[in-house]
Amino acid sequence: MEILPAIDLLAGRCVRLMQGRYDRIIQYEGDPLEVALRFRAAGATWLHVIDLDGARNGRLENLAVLRQLAAQTGAHIEFGGGVRDEAAIDAALEAGAERVIVGTRALEDWPWFDRVVHHPRYRHRIALGLDARVSRLAVRGWTCQTQHSPLDVVTAAAGWPLASIVYTDIGRDGLLLGPNLTAIERVAAVATAPVIASGGISDLEDVRHLAAARLAGVVIGRALYEGAIDLKEALAATRAA
């Protein structure tokens, strides 16, 4: 299982949103490159980079930061936020992302997403972003609730050449309450693509539980920034599992 330290970008700075709310922002010290290099020095090979400005506004706004992270860290980067068309996918890939998360446009235009995922240029380069709040998926930077359930969407994408499915529990994100293991395991049980879990990871025990669930990866944010989890120890725990 990979550990993907989270770098959430708002106006070019590293932040965390409490439960995905833009009115509950935690601002962290240091610029994104400094933070990314610390994660790399601790042993991380992947970074989970989200353009929060883009997610809210529907257009990529932190491509320059993505390009800098890719060029100067050598990390594999999973990037999302504001990816609403092929031009945005191409721009993110060109800037150095290894895989690109599509959430809002996928749920709002499933035929388009089907076509894009199966296009030879994007096979195994697109991650399906599923952001869940009380068993329903949210879109547009988590500001709009839909009637889609995670399991129905994962089932509909069975057998598709996705790079991964990134499942986030919005209600726990940024709160250090522990992951929603039941929901994560249900998604993993029906998914045919690798599943990456996000939201609420608070300590090493959470990491061990998720590793036991045989996920492809876990995104950790606030717990790393505030020292609740030591990244080197977490990486060691996944190797042991």
Identify the H or E element spanning 144: strand 144-145
Residues 208, 177: contact at Cβ < 8 Å? no
5, with CB counted inside 10 A (0-12, 13-18, 19+), is buried
**How does DSSP classify residue 78?**
E
Residues 146, 110: contact at Cβ < 8 Å? no
Which of 8, 51, 173, 206 is flagged as catalytic?
8
Catalytic-residue membership of 8: yes
pTM (2 decimals)?
Answer: 0.92
User: Tell me, what's the pLDDT at 21?
Assistant: 74
What CA–CA distances, in Å, run from 66 to 53, 100, 103, 149, 175?
Answer: 13, 12, 18, 31, 26
Residue 11: partners with Cβ closer than 8 Å, 6 or more residues away: 53
**How does DSSP classify residue 195?**
E
Catalytic-residue membership of 109: no
Structure token digits, residue 116: 């894009």
User: Tell me, what's the pLDDT at 20?
Assistant: 65
d(Cα 164, Cα 104) in Å, to the nearest integer?
16
d(Cα 165, Cα 127) in Å, to the nearest integer?
5
d(Cα 217, Cα 164) in Å, to the nearest integer?
9
14, with CB counted inside 10 A (0-12, 13-18, 19+), is buried
What's the angle, vertex CA 145, arms to CA 53 and CA 129, rounded to 5?
A: 60
Which of 51, 53, 131, 169 is flagged as catalytic?
131
User: Tell me, what's the pLDDT at 175?
Assistant: 64
d(Cα 152, Cα 164) in Å, to the nearest integer?
16
Q: Write phi, then psi, for 22 (nearest 5 degrees).
A: -75, -10
Please list the pLDDT of the chain residue by residue as tens digits (241 residues). Answer: 999 999 999 988 888 777 667 777 788 766 999 999 999 999 999 999 999 999 888 899 999 999 999 999 999 999 999 999 999 999 999 999 999 999 999 999 999 999 999 999 999 999 999 999 878 998 887 778 889 999 999 999 999 999 999 999 887 666 677 899 999 999 999 999 999 999 989 999 999 999 998 899 999 999 999 999 999 999 999 988 7
Identify the H or E element spanning 108: helix 104-108
Residues 48, 222: contact at Cβ < 8 Å? no
